Amino acid sequence: MSEQNYHFWREHMTILGDVEAASFLPWIERHAAKLGLAQAICFAGPDRIELDIAGPAELVDMMEMGCSLGPIDVWVEAIRRVPIESESG
């Protein structure tokens, strides 16, 4: 599988809600890995998780959908996404 055939996208994703369950961060990491996305957790608190995520735009959309449904022990109220500008030029 080659990622060169996809439009590569980078975003900062903020997940808001009751997200302090110990299972959620490992769940995010596993879900991103299953989708073939690169991710880095920037902040994790009881009401907010922030991460940078990169990969094909369609799969980043799938990551948002997965996080919005999440594991049963979290309650996601909203997800905010902001594109990360490319520094090449």
Q: Taken in order 47, 71, 59, 26, is the CA torsion positive or negative?
A: positive
Instruction: Give ∠ CA 25-31-37 in degrees, rounded to 5.
Output: 105
Domains annotated on the chain, with CATH: 7-83 (3.30.70.100)
Residue 7 banded pLDDT, cuts 50, 70, 90: low
CB atoms within 10 A of CB 22: 8
Q: Which residues pair with 18 in a beta bridge?
A: 75
pLDDT digits (tens, 9 = 90+) for 10-65: 999 999 999 999 999 999 999 999 999 999 999 999 999 999 999 999 999 999 99
CB 5 within 8 A of CB 58: no
Report DSSP state, residue 8. E
Give the integer Cα–Cα distance in Å for 74 and 37. Answer: 22
- Residue 67: pLDDT above 90? yes
Question: What is the pTM (predicted TM-score) of this model?
Answer: 0.86
